Amino acid sequence: MSDADAAKAYVLEDQIGFRLRLANQRHLEIFAATIPDVTPTQFATLVKLKELGVLSQNHLGRLVAMDAATTNGVVTRLRNKGLVRTQASTNDLRRLEVSLTPEGEAFITEKMAAAHDVSALTMKGLTAREREQILALLAKMAV
């Protein structure tokens, strides 16, 4: 295929990146309207802390798919909101440990039903089978 033919054949609206961005924008709008107190990344951080307990900041970032700088910013903002606390590890003073505060624990417990609603609204219009398929395909793409 020549460059000219490729350019003619390229339709933006048919590209995976464009469609993923549109779907993500829709999801972010739904999330912000449903859980306005935190960002999706902050919420994911709180979920992991609730699930696993005290984590090093570095490990927490890897679990939530964030680089070190982003993780630091997210943890700082959550600490400023009173939802997490940080402290130096007793085993390794170079390591910062992150945990939920009682307020953070209450917040994430209270918002879990809303988080399920966000997922349901994001995939509204899809059949149960289509929801399973899209999640499986996205997981396959993310490796």
- Structural domain boundaries of the chain? 13-141
Compute the Cα dihedral for 108, 50, 44, 117 and give only its sign. Answer: negative
CA-based max dimension of the chain: 63
Amino acid at the residue 143? V
Q: Which strands make up the sheet holding 96-100, listed edge to edge?
A: 55-56, 96-100, 84-88
Topology of the domain covering 13-141: Arc Repressor Mutant, subunit A (1.10.10)
Across the range 2-27, mean pLDDT stands at 90
pTM as predicted = 0.89
pLDDT digits (tens, 9 = 90+) for 41-99: 999 999 999 999 999 999 999 999 999 999 999 999 999 999 999 999 888 878 999 99
Which two structure tokens, joined as six digits, stand for 47?
Answer: 């979920």
Count the helices and strands in the chain (H runs, E runs).
7, 3
* Closest among 23, 43, 28 to 108, alpha carbons compared: 43
pLDDT at position 143: 87
Element (DSSP H or E) covering residue 124:
none
- For residue 136, pLDDT beyond 90: yes
What pairs with residue 74 in β-bridges?
A: none
DSSP 95: P
